[in-house]
Amino acid sequence: MEKTKIALVTGGSSGIGFAIACELAAKGFSILLISNQAEQLETCKAEIESRFSVTCFILDIDLSATTAAQQVFDYCVEHQLEIEVLVNNAGMLIFSEVVQTPTKRLETILQLHMNTPTMLCRLFGAQMKERKSGSILNVSSISSVMPYPGISLYGPTKTYMRYFTRALRSEMKEHGVNVSCLLPGATETALYDPNRINLKLAKRLGVMQTAEYVARKAVKTIYRKKAECVPGIINKLTIWFMPIIPTFIIELINRRAKLLDKGQKSLG
């Protein structure tokens, strides 16, 4: 039985993940969407197959489980799905002090942002190396350069993903496998409450992009085999200038603004 070449997208039932899946489907890829949102997966599957006339597979799984990567890999082996493009996009946002974050929630973000994508790279990367073809896109964030209060779990885990991707890229390049990193900034997704944030103004000012814009840039990065993609001028400037802000200023802002809700904010 001939294997079907697939673009696998984690966190593919909404936001940037779904938008990337649509961009890849438009280029003729069959899609494997993975998330823990069963109803949304079914809706996304129907939309992709209707709009792009490609096959869309779905897998409802908790990617924060320690066995998740192996389960995904086994599913692909069982269904003869050859992963040509791997997109590690699944993530969650915790806005909280570390010591106020429930232990289970802390373990979840560490597993979801670091362990599972690393293992997916290991498992599918080995197949790509053997074939001497394939692409991996790991989604980090501009917060990877921001060790700031409130995102002290989110930012550093995204830092890991950025530098892991750089190292993996060097290892895989000689085997004909491309590895790229996407570092989006604020993006119009379900993480942002339109009742609290003026999304139209944020987009007009350039401090927020649509998921579709980010996805287009991401897929261009895959095809051009570039190391990193930072969508938007303001985000590019952020990558350069945020790391030089003195620590005492960050601490002062945190004390004065009382940004944290003592562990009450947890999205994803």
pLDDT of residue 75: 97
Within 79-143, residue ranges assigned H as helices are: 103-110, 116-131
Residues spanned by the domain of 144: 4-267
Cα–Cα distances in angstroms (integers) from residue 257 to residues 83, 100, 145, 150, 246, in the given order = 46, 18, 21, 12, 17
CATH label of the domain that carries residue 223: 3.40.50.720
Question: Which residue carries 């401090």 as its tokens?
Answer: 207
Confidence of residue 265 (pLDDT cuts 50, 70, 90): very low
Q: For residues 10 and 40, what is the distance between their CA atoms, to the nearest angstrom?
A: 13
Identify the residue with better confidence: 241 or 183.
Answer: 183
Q: What is the mean pLDDT of residues 201-211?
A: 63
Are 70 and 123 in contact by the 8 Å Cβ rule? The answer is: yes
Number of domains in the chain: 1
Residue 196 has pLDDT above 90, yes or no: no
Task: Name residue, tokens 């409130």.
Answer: 150
Sequence-distant (≥ 6) Cβ neighbours of residue 115 within 8 angstroms: 66, 69
Q: Which residues pair with 135 in a beta bridge?
A: 85, 178
pLDDT band at 120 (very low <50, low <70, confident <90, very high): very high
Q: Among the listed ranges 46-60, 82-96, 147-161, 197-211, which one has the minimum average pLDDT value?
A: 197-211
Query: What is residue 151's predicted lDDT score, i.e. its pLDDT?
Result: 83
Averaged over 58-64, what is the pLDDT?
97
Q: Residue 251: count other Cβ atoms within 10 Å of its Cβ.
A: 12
